[in-house]
A and B are shown apart, each in its own frame.
Chain A
Amino acid sequence: MFDSAPAPAFRLPTALTVARIDEENYRTKTIVLNGALEATPGQFVMAWLPRFDEKPFSLVDNDPITLMVTAVGPFSRLVHALEPGDRLWLRGPFGQGFAVPHGQARLAVVGGGYGVAPLLWLARSLARTGRTVTTIIGARTANDLLYAERFAALARFRPPHATAYDLIAATEDGSRGVQGRVTDALLSLLEAGAIDGIYACGPDPMLSALRELGQRYAIPCQLSWEAYMRCAIGICGACEHEGKVLCLDGPVVRD
């Protein structure tokens, strides 16, 4: 009838069963579902609980479909109450993910708080590309730091021709890793001329600070922004950010 963008794998909310749940910290769980999706790191899905609400979540992995959920309000608390065998409905995947160009050899992958969610998959997808990937994760305290062990495991795994993984943890109170913010840790790497590209997800103020650093050192950035999402298909305008509809043009925006 007409050419249009290919429909996502799950056009309408599709019921999936919970396979496994991992506790990450006092308010965050990783939820593994039975099922797989064609997707790229940085894309997101809309998770639905019938007659309650539907909310966006980054894909932590596509096979099996994995989400990381921090309990911050009514919806995420209900998701936390799910047990293996229960169902969660998803539609998606939606949006533009991260895409690392060939020329970039030394990458900084920066996550603030629950912003680490899409980054583990991004870092893992770069294995065996011979790059140097420095992951910088930050949070207020050691208790809030997410996926530190998972990133550290990536750093220990060193097959031949492998990507070199480094992990820097930054906490504002210094309870783990270096004291300060992720931007402080990144600054010294930028000053040393050791970074070709910045890939990040986290709260808006962190992303704005990273964008400024990127501009100052002329390093390209791919930043994943957050906005209230409704349709997730680029029609309602709820997720507008600087002239873009983030659900379609983003959430990863190139600078």
Chain B
Amino acid sequence: MAIPFVLFNSRNHGRSIIITDTYPTMNTRTPFLTHTLPTPLVLASGIWGTTVSLLVRAARSGCGAVTAKSCGPAPRAGHVNPSCLDWGGGLINAIGLANPGAEAEVELLAQAKAELEPLGAPLIASIFAGPPDEFATVAATVARARPDFVEVNISCPNVHSDFGEPYAASPDAAAEVTGHVVDALAERNIPVIVKLAPNVPSIGRIAQAVTAAGADALCVINTMPGMLIDAESGQPILANRSGGLSGPALKPIALKCVYDVRKACPETPIIGTGGVTTGVDALEMLMAGASAVGVGSAIHFRGPDAPRLILDEMTAWLAARGMDDLNAVRNRAHHEPLYAAVPTGAPVPSAH
């Protein structure tokens, strides 16, 4: 279906020229839990921080929902610099969860929500905490701002783990944290999204544990641990020494995680996040099983207009194949073609 493309310029003195059949369109409306997002793209947590003006800018440049920077129980300055770098294949960051603290965050979130509402873009608050029951306190605090969803960042260290492993690494710990947040938000009817980490032996197991504990949706994935070393000094570059990889290098890891989680939780809405930089990347994420698509590092690799560029590329790709609806690609990787024959396959390597 092509809808009219209305062109205004100074030569036609504001009169509209209507061109049909040349400008491809796409039905971008994306059902997600209690809402319908105007586009399938979701600004990832931590991108552009929690500044209201920048969350609104992201919505104006094409994000159908925006996630605020994770906030915790108390104000945190975060790590010294360097704390975020472009290393060529993607970004690495160890911002150190810099945030003004949940109490101060309430006002920011409330203002962001008021400014996002006219744009039709839901606001997702993001929280982290220390001990599991503290997640409930932080959730109850940010709930006062009435965000549309609360996302739980469980990639922070589990205070009960000897090695500082994240909650995201254990099905039991992840479920415990989820349970606390679900209970804290039940009264206000705010759906809970749990954000999973990629560096676990079986992400499907974690996904099932947190949905059993009451998570309404999942965000898949957070960053992947990594380190940069400067050869001239022989030193790690990040002040925190290690950090989280994001951007193009993360995409194959994210696709696999989303694919596995879709298999493990066939009915749960998933925000597929990690390395989406082009429209085709976003479509691949939907094919892997995502319900909506997170956009983070692309804001650097493509610039602040990244969401708009990605949407245009998605539309063009679909149009070139005679499609205009995202439902045509959703979950496609899970429906494999069937053949009557079997391929010959490779020979067993010889033993000499």
Contact = CB atoms under 8 A, between A and B. Distances in A.
Interface stretch (B45-53, B178-186, B196-204): B45-53
Nearest to A234: B300
Given A4-B301, A12-B87, A240 B51 contact: yes
B49 A50 contact: no
A12 B304 contact: no
Range for the number of chain A residues in contact with chain B: 35 or more
A235 B54 contact: no
B236 to A, nearest CB: 8
Interface in A46-66: 46, 48, 50-51, 53-55
B82 interface: yes
Contacts of A26: none
B265 to A, nearest CB: 30
Interface in A147-164: none
A237 B69 CA distance: 10
B299 A235 contact: yes
Contact of A54 (B49, B81, B278): B81
A235 B300 contact: yes
A87 B234 CA distance: 13
A11 B82 CA distance: 13
Range for the number of chain B residues in contact with chain A: 35 or more
A237 B54 contact: yes
Interface string B211-239: 00000000000000000101011011101
Interface in A202-255: 229-231, 233-238, 240, 242-243, 245, 248-249
**Which of A7, A46, A243 has its CB near the most chain B CB atoms (within 10 A)?**
A243
A243 to B, nearest CB: 4
Given A51-B235, A51-B236, A240-B49, 19 more contacts: A11-B86, A11-B88, A12-B85, A12-B228, A13-B237, A15-B233, A48-B82, A50-B230, A54-B239, A234-B300, A235-B48, A235-B297, A236-B46, A236-B84, A237-B48, A237-B54, A243-B53, A243-B56, A248-B304
